[in-house]
Amino acid sequence: MAKNKLNKNWLHDHINDPYVKLAQKEGFRARAAFKLKEIDESEKLIKPGQVIVDLGCTPGSWAQYTRRKLAGKDGGGIHGTIIGLDMLPMEPIADVEFIQGDFREEEVLVQLNALLQGRKADLVLSDMAPNLSGIPTADAARMEHLIDLALEFSQSHMKPGGALVVKCFKDMGFTQILEKFKREFTTVKQVKPKASRDKSSEIFLLGRGLKNPTA
* Predicted confidence (pLDDT) per residue in 56-113, tens digit: 999 999 999 999 999 966 656 899 999 999 999 999 999 999 999 999 999 999 999 9
**Is 62 marked as binding a ligand?**
yes
119 CB neighbour count, 10 Å cutoff: 12
In the chain the domains, ranked by start, together with CATH numbers, are 29-210 (3.40.50.150)
**Is 118 marked as binding a ligand?**
no
**Judging by DSSP bridges, how do beta strands 51-55 and 81-86 pair with one another?**
parallel
* Predicted confidence (pLDDT) per residue in 151-208, tens digit: 999 999 999 999 999 999 999 999 999 999 999 999 999 999 999 888 889 999 999 9
Question: What does R_g of the chain's alpha carbons equal in angstroms?
Answer: 17
- Where in the sequence numbering do the catalytic residues fall? 167
**Is 127 marked as binding a ligand?**
yes
**What SS3 state is found at 11?**
helix
